[in-house]
Structure 1
């Protein structure tokens, strides 16, 4: 699995391929737009209802990170999730078919930078 992750990352630490919705294959991020980040304390994401429970981890530690929501080609945001680690965490989903969550957006504390995280194991890649 680690070898597969490495192949998805460029030498600069960005996504080597376009990132697509796992269901409808809509483009979410173009290649080279997001940075690979490893998180020790990731938010637990609910399982995607249409997927097998063993296919996705609840708390992914390997994510694609972007700091500007305009970097996305296609993404939807939920209302703040009650009971999440942060009172204003929002889940990310496909804007075309509403499948998700494929990631999350923790609303930053005062003075902190914005971050949008897409779980690398919850999306598809265009490898040509």
Structure 2
């Protein structure tokens, strides 16, 4: 005759004291960022020639003070000058981000292709209703939702970050 099983269910383990508070505390070691206008030579100073194109010389960061999330690593974005894009309604409240020139004025962009997997940390808006052309999504910091820092066409393989709307880890 066999003995009855004496296995007992183990009690759920408790977290050591202070672990949850530590996890919820903001990280104090966020990289500091500089704005594009803080560089005396502008885009020339934040880009470097790699092969036949200019790429970002520094990591691109969320420009929100206290966030500093890395959006794109050094050398991934290709510098392109092309017309500005209206990413915000004309009547929107001022944001922490530099204003974009009115289209069709030229501005500088970091082109990221062929996939959003090139980014370290980026979020996308829902598709915007656009009667004038292809639908687009806005790019935002995936950590703090600051944006828009750029845009992409829905289903496209090109992602555009405004050089003036990201921070630079110099």
* TM-score normalised per structure 2: 0.63
| Equivalent residue in structure 2 for 1:45, among 74, 78, 87 | 87
- C-alpha contact 1:48 1:99 (8 A) present in aligned 2: no
Give the whole-Å Cα distance in 2 for the aligned partners of 1:84 and 1:124.
32
Q: How does 1:82-101 map to 2 (within 5 A)?
A: 82-83=129-130, 85-101=132-148
- C-alpha contact 1:89 1:104 (8 A) present in aligned 2: yes
Partner of 1:118: 161
- C-alpha contact 1:89 1:105 (8 A) present in aligned 2: yes
| Equivalent residue in structure 2 for 1:65, among 106, 111, 129 | 111
Runs of 4+ in structure 1 over 4 Å off: none
Give the whole-Å Cα distance in 2 for the aligned partners of 1:19 and 1:117.
13
| 1:58-116 superposed Cα distances (whole Å, 9 cap, x missing partner) | 457200011121000000001111136434200000000001000000236xxxx6100
* TM-score normalised per structure 1: 0.82
CA deviation after TM superposition for structure 1 residue 4, in Å: 1.7
What is the aligned length? Answer: 120
Give the whole-Å Cα distance in 1 for the aligned partners of 2:131 and 2:150.
13
List runs of 5+ in structure 1 lacking aligned partners: none
Partner of 1:81: 128
The alignment partner of 2:48 has SS state of: coil
List runs of 5+ in structure 2 lacking aligned partners: 1-36
